Structure 1
């Protein structure tokens, strides 16, 4: 994972620093949690995005490199490319997710997480399943050095085994010192080599098989973290629908 970068799709700029990437990552995930704490039933997606912008400004962000995404309810099934629905309101028993792309000190942070409000057990399970599937897939990358293509085949198998639908229109992407887009790397799920550490965002978006909601989680793939991020060497099984009665 720490081998020199030779593939032009993994090129970085002269100011690139892995430490700076880790800082951007930490700041962005912190922002996701801060924003989630102020989201409440009755709020619209636009109001949540406005609150997110205020929080990011207060944290001293350099700039936003992709639009702020906050999705409520059935909109949690939408992809990044689809616009938010400004008037969509969060219900008292509902799902939402936050997806941020923020530049800190010239480096791109990209983080996303899902949350449920109220007492719907399947919604809570869906949010947790996205996080655990991300961890399971990330550990597979760490241990087996698969290509990006193989990584998403693995994620799909694990999601289906637990009863969730993996959205394969969302397959991860490059990040770097800003802007990564000049490197034309394509998606992580189309990358035919083992992705290097600190350069790729693993995105997981799942859907409930019968109800109109889903969950999203994304984070930076970083080598060397997995033994310390888990309580044991084995990642817990993906939260399965069979744990909750329909």
Structure 2
């Protein structure tokens, strides 16, 4: 969807910033034109841009317009809701065009929409074990010793994937079409790629199938390729014993 001024999405380091990936991927997936500005996480050089645009001092933040008409949207869930309301003709909860969704009486669309919203909210507010013990680190393969909380989170995530995918094709997204749920769980897929095999965590076949589908998504590949060119190491976002590295730091 075109606008008089392209929205600007301010994001952090692509190797580490899972919340930035969620917002960036959602805008890409739903054909929303935007400019991006990457800042260095936890670095003094980022202070000026964050002070100007981000009320919480965190990324991602989406801004467009000038003066009294300036729109500022912070927090990934708020960005998703705003994008759905104002920036795209596709319903992000079902992956269908809004005109198609509005003219159908098929109750499955409503059920899928509510389910999608629920698991997005669950990801946004919970699953702290996997998020704290498996920070996104795209360039690395690393071994960790996962806690019971982390393993419980992985089991819950696998249950979600299995429930969504049980009647779908082998290369499907969670609801068939790409939805906000896929954007919100994308960093989980990259976390599992970094830590699961190296840590002896056995994943269900359907989880591996969905991971493959997501890793083949061209937007995720674009993000990953950019992440692999980064060279900054942020110790706060490094976890476990590094087994191997790919990208610029491996050379």
Please say whether Structure 1 and Structure 2 have the same fold, judged by a TM-score greater than 0.5: no
Higher fraction of helix: 2
Report the structure number with the largest CA radius of gyration: 2
Higher fraction of strand: 1
- TM-score for the superposition, normalised by structure 1: 0.29
